[in-house]
Amino acid sequence: MKEHGENRKDCILIVDDVKENIDVLNGILIEDYTIKAALNGRTALKIAERFKPDMILLDVMMPEMDGFEVCRHLKDNPVTQNIPVIFVTAKNEDVDEAKGFGMGAVDYISKPVNSLVVNSRIKTHLALSNQKKELSRKVRQKTEELQNVQTEIIKSLGRASVYRDNETGAHIDRVSEYSYRMAKKLDVDEEIAQILKEASRMHDVGKIGIPDHILKKQGKLDDDEYDVMKTHTEIGADILGKHDYYILKMAAAIPLQHHERYDGKGYPKGLKGEEIALCARIVSVCDVFDALTTKRPYKDPWSFEKALNLLSEEKGRQFDPKIVEAFISDIDRIRIIHDTYRDES
């Protein structure tokens, strides 16, 4: 697979401390390949990281840094670890070959080199490398497609839950945006933060399974009704099911655990502290804050100051302290999100 255009020649880096040996290989290969060369291991590592050649022909017996050490550094570096390495050396005892293969080399060519052998081995291993690159590209593409499908499923279920709840779609949007902001404030990786942004929309999907006379009741629930309402956490997890896919695992953890408390007094499992998934701890803070600061059939909205005071009072009890602190420190951005995603009149 030509990554930089169909006419690009594959690039081969030749590493040998004897210039005459480089000249011999260069003469064999120059017609079909772009050649780069290094007379020592340290220079070879710099060239490999900068130019990312398609293959490296590497001498073993070199002063200061021998070929084995160079190969080890290449394989330890994420930038160069997938470049195929062929040792070209007179040091071809079985034990040496085993050591080289153990370090990740793909082949050995013995000195003095034979042009037919050199060309044949290089073509074979370049073809295998290109096949591997193409396979990796297809896997990445399919993985991305699968993640997109999972994300759309989550969005669809999130929209479905709105039709069964007194809460609005704007509530789901705000909780989603708040959760993303908290993930970033806590230095969560961008990809995971984006997954949380979508998965947080599922926090109340289990309310689909709650009877209307309870879900849509205009006043305070009695004890029996509240016990039924609490089952929405497990219903939500059941709807999403058990999966190995990270997005769906996170999406299931959020509805199941977002009513757990940091002090262990929540439901449904009575989990405590970091037994609760980070995603659920984040959504818990965001969901409660939004519920407090917006109008509901049974209450008027609280001021931001009053809601923040409650979050502070509940640090270490209902909420993870570090998430509360992150939320309060980002309150200017929270206000913007709140004003952007307003409930319809």
Q: pLDDT digit of tens for each residue in the chain (345 aa)?
A: 444 445 678 999 999 999 999 999 999 999 999 999 999 999 999 999 999 999 999 999 999 899 999 999 999 999 999 999 999 988 766 677 778 788 889 998 988 999 999 999 999 999 998 888 888 888 888 877 777 777 777 766 666 666 655 555 688 899 999 999 999 999 999 989 998 998 898 898 898 889 988 988 877 889 999 999 999 999 999 988 887 777 778 888 999 999 999 999 999 999 999 999 999 999 999 999 999 999 876 778 999 999 999 999 999 999 999 999 999 999 999 999 999 998 765
CB contact at 8 A, 159 and 332: no
DSSP 299: B
Q: What is the CA radius of gyration of the chain?
A: 30
The reply to whether 178 and 247 lie within a common domain is yes
> Does residue 6 lie in a domain region?
no
Helices (H), 186-294: 190-199, 212-215, 223-230, 232-240, 246-257, 278-293
The reply to whether 292 and 256 lie within a common domain is yes
pLDDT at 130: 86
> Does residue 65 lie in a domain region?
yes
* Total tally of structural domains belonging to the chain: 2
The reply to whether 77 and 29 lie within a common domain is yes
pLDDT at 90: 81
Q: Which of 137, 156, 185 is the last residue of a domain?
A: 137
Helix (H, G, I), strand (E, B) or coil at 216: coil
Q: How far apart are CA 44 and CA 49, in angstroms?
A: 9
Q: How far apart are CA 154 and CA 132, in angstroms?
A: 33
Q: Residue 209 has which token pair?
A: 């399974």
> Does residue 234 lie in a domain region?
yes
> Does residue 298 lie in a domain region?
yes
For helices 331-340 and 169-185, the axis angle rounded to 10 degrees is 160
The reply to whether 33 and 99 lie within a common domain is yes
Output the domain CATH number for residue 273.
1.10.3210.10
Helix (H, G, I), strand (E, B) or coil at 296: strand
Which of 160, 154, 140, 142 is CA-nearest to residue 247?
154
pLDDT at 5: 47
Give the domain range for residue 185: 164-340
Give the largest Cα separation in the chain, rounded: 90
Output the domain CATH number for residue 128.
3.40.50.2300
The reply to whether 232 and 327 lie within a common domain is yes
Residue 51 carries which side chain, given as an amino acid letter?
F
Q: How far apart are CA 181 and CA 262, in angstroms?
A: 20
The residues with which 290 forms a beta bridge, in sequence order, are none
The reply to whether 109 and 172 lie within a common domain is no
> Does residue 152 lie in a domain region?
no
Q: Which of 137, 152, 179 is the last residue of a domain?
A: 137
The reply to whether 98 and 204 lie within a common domain is no
Could you please report the per-residue DSSP string of 34-67?
EEEEESSHHHHHHHHHHH--SEEEE-S--SSS-H
CB contact at 8 A, 258 and 250: no
The reply to whether 178 and 325 lie within a common domain is yes
The reply to whether 132 and 36 lie within a common domain is yes
The reply to whether 283 and 332 lie within a common domain is yes
Peptide bond into 268 cis (omega under 30): yes
| Owner of token pair 């255009």 | 5
pTM of the model: 0.60
Phi, psi values for residue 85, rounded to 5°: -115, 130
> Does residue 176 lie in a domain region?
yes
> Does residue 92 lie in a domain region?
yes
The reply to whether 186 and 323 lie within a common domain is yes
The reply to whether 87 and 216 lie within a common domain is no
pLDDT at 302: 95
> Does residue 34 lie in a domain region?
yes
Residue 115 carries which side chain, given as an amino acid letter?
S
